[in-house]
Structure 1
């Protein structure tokens, strides 16, 4: 037990400490957003890689609440130390597991490095022992580094443009007040681009499919999806035309390779989600300003990660058409990429400045959303009250369980 009065300790969009009560409340809100689907059929067996944050968390919550999903979620989260709380994903996972248990879901969570061969072997053994064949693999990882299990080389991802330097507006907060900053990034070299592809491309996704297939764990009709993003022309120089875009292109190429290999057994797709405030997206320069403007423009048409995860599950379960584009990608971002929406966002982007930022973009909303990623700024939470920070990770099942 460790009762502490917790301070965020944040610098910009990075928070040193997470609030366990706030993180739990965020998951509760996500859970309450999901409509249960009444059915007597057993839910699909799923493996979710990256189940503690962003779209991976949303897909996990929707799968458990609405579809009776069984199986395993894998995330890599830091435990509490003498100086810091556990990671936000640790606390979110603990609450997700509790809600899953209350709902009677047979789903377990493992805290481990999904890039590791050892973890792949242990996870697939556990799935084989408890569930048998797997219906669905959802891959949603955004990581700063990856150790290649074959060579031992550590690759570090970078967020940089390709070919030429990048200058653009960016959103910063000084003492909580929104301001327009000027961003300048130099172009990545070939080594930086290649390392980013190794971390954020499709190499590890393919290894997970290989691990399942090698043990005969692919169910008939197996489907696997990897989460991706395209985004606006406004952010293209730092995203789709940058190092991350090179990685996303590799992810899409991997999807086509996997889909060909799975012919007769199942299918593989990339899923292009819409913009969201996540721990991964806040690290991308200019995305904060773009997302704040997009939220103001779309208003009640904004699609949360839960909204989009519900749409994805409807497509994966056959309740709705897959909605593939001409590149074979599942598109969830039509609300964002609507030409009228993009034109309106562009008009604001071009004119926004220091004096107009607070009325032209939803900066207050964005600031609150970033805090909520770590359990802060959650309505109804009294942050002056000391909180229990020692929250156990959900017990992992043994192979004999």
Structure 2
């Protein structure tokens, strides 16, 4: 037993430790939001990036909504003498326990999704247990990628393209919200290219290639890569920046993959949310806190959007596509009246007004919840067992 009293310690939006009980309760809370549906046969799904953000939501929604079997892949750190495991480690353990409780045969692999060895191991398991796959959901958010075929390490950059940009941004000092003005440098051509290598569609393509080569694509196979477009307010740093170039490549990849026989590939455009990936991008935290102030309970959670995604993938509901063939789960966010209200709040946001125009308390609590803190029903004054095993099956 290695019980510890765990407190949120870190800087900004990055915490050094995670709370295992809080992470487990967070997953349990997600499952309670879902009304089950039954299909004639359990779908087999492969989720790349299953431990956090929208990948976690898609995994839990698939399990609770349609009883999917399959495999989730993520890259998490185990507990050490000094530190807890990563939050994704604990969330995965809780997700595995839930899958077992509802009778789903779902396995979790902890490995680098970019590595060819990981693909080989996952496909071996997929072939052994299921004989093929119906759905591939690709939701990878990583700061860097090592190409296993060249050994080259690519580093993503959060920069503007064409000309420098400035944006308002939200930070916290001892829990107090601080409005900052942040300058965004222009990315070099190499930095844009490297960002595309990390966050674009090449690795997604390699997963589909590997499945095709092993003849593991079932009839009606469908794959989606999760993406984001966002507001004009965040455009210079996101959609028109180096990240946007990678997202554009992801969308082009979907069109290319869909030209293959037996492959239906699309991108799924999700709405804004508080995730470990998004909170690191300048301006996004402020924007999301303003959006929640405007929408309140009308702001759709990653779980609500993931339920909608599964309903569309399984044919329970028709695909909601735009003119470019992308699944749109973000229409609630980009509605004209919503964006107009958020822009008014954005323009009014100063250090003096921030507590009134934005949901800064909600946003900070949501960031803490990513690490298992501020979760209802958890006694944080009690020690917690940190040595939670990674879920494996005999």
The interval holding the TM-score normalised by the smaller chain is over 0.9
Q: Distance in 2 between matches of 1:62 and 1:183?
A: 37
The alignment status of 1:237 with 2:236, answered yes or no, reads: yes
Deviations 1:18-68 (A, max 9, x none): 0000000100110101111145x2210110000000111001001111101
| 1:171-186 equivalences in 2 (<5 Å) | 171-186=170-185
Relative to structure 2, which stretch is displaced further, 378-387 or 42-51?
378-387
Relative to structure 2, which stretch is displaced further, 357-366 or 375-384?
375-384
Q: Distance in 1 between matches of 2:377 and 2:71?
A: 31
Q: What's 1:161 paired with?
A: 160
Q: What's 2:277 paired with?
A: 280
Q: Distance in 2 between matches of 1:2 and 1:42?
A: 42
Q: What's 1:125 paired with?
A: 124
Q: Distance in 1 between matches of 2:361 and 2:369?
A: 12
Verify the 8 A CA contact 1:170 1:289 in the aligned structure 2.
yes
Q: Secondary structure at the match of 1:155?
A: strand
TM-score by length of 2: 0.99
Verify the 8 A CA contact 2:47 2:72 in the aligned structure 1.
yes
Deviations 1:195-244 (A, max 9, x none): 11000000000000000000000111100000000000000000000110
Q: What's 2:56 paired with?
A: 57
Q: Distance in 2 between matches of 1:159 and 1:91?
A: 29
Deviations 1:222-277 (A, max 9, x none): 0000000000000000000011000000000100000012x3x1300000000010
Q: Secondary structure at the match of 1:228?
A: strand
Deviations 1:61-82 (A, max 9, x none): 0111110100100000011111
| 1:340-379 equivalences in 2 (<5 Å) | 340-379=337-376
Verify the 8 A CA contact 2:257 2:263 in the aligned structure 1.
no
Among residues 384, 388, 393, which one is paired with 1:387 in the alignment?
384
Q: Secondary structure at the match of 2:243?
A: helix
Q: Which runs of 5+ in 1 are unaligned?
A: none
Verify the 8 A CA contact 1:228 1:270 in the aligned structure 2.
yes
Q: What's 1:337 paired with?
A: 334
Q: Which runs of 5+ in 2 are unaligned?
A: none
Verify the 8 A CA contact 2:348 2:357 in the aligned structure 1.
no
Q: What's 1:27 paired with?
A: 27
Shift of 1:166: 1.8
Q: What's 2:102 paired with?
A: 103
Q: What's 2:264 paired with?
A: 267
Q: Distance in 2 between matches of 1:384 and 1:189?
A: 49
Q: Distance in 2 between matches of 1:223 and 1:14?
A: 35
Q: Secondary structure at the match of 2:70?
A: strand
Q: Distance in 1 between matches of 2:145 and 2:159?
A: 18
Q: Distance in 2 between matches of 1:155 and 1:380?
A: 42
Q: What's 2:313 paired with?
A: 316
Shift of 1:350: 0.8
Q: Distance in 1 between matches of 2:13 and 2:314?
A: 36
Q: Distance in 2 between matches of 1:334 and 1:32?
A: 25
Q: Secondary structure at the match of 1:35?
A: coil
Q: What's 1:13 paired with?
A: 13
Q: Secondary structure at the match of 1:43?
A: coil
Q: Distance in 2 between matches of 1:266 and 1:148?
A: 24
Shift of 1:396: 4.6
Q: Distance in 2 between matches of 1:147 and 1:192?
A: 15
Q: Distance in 1 between matches of 2:164 and 2:82?
A: 39
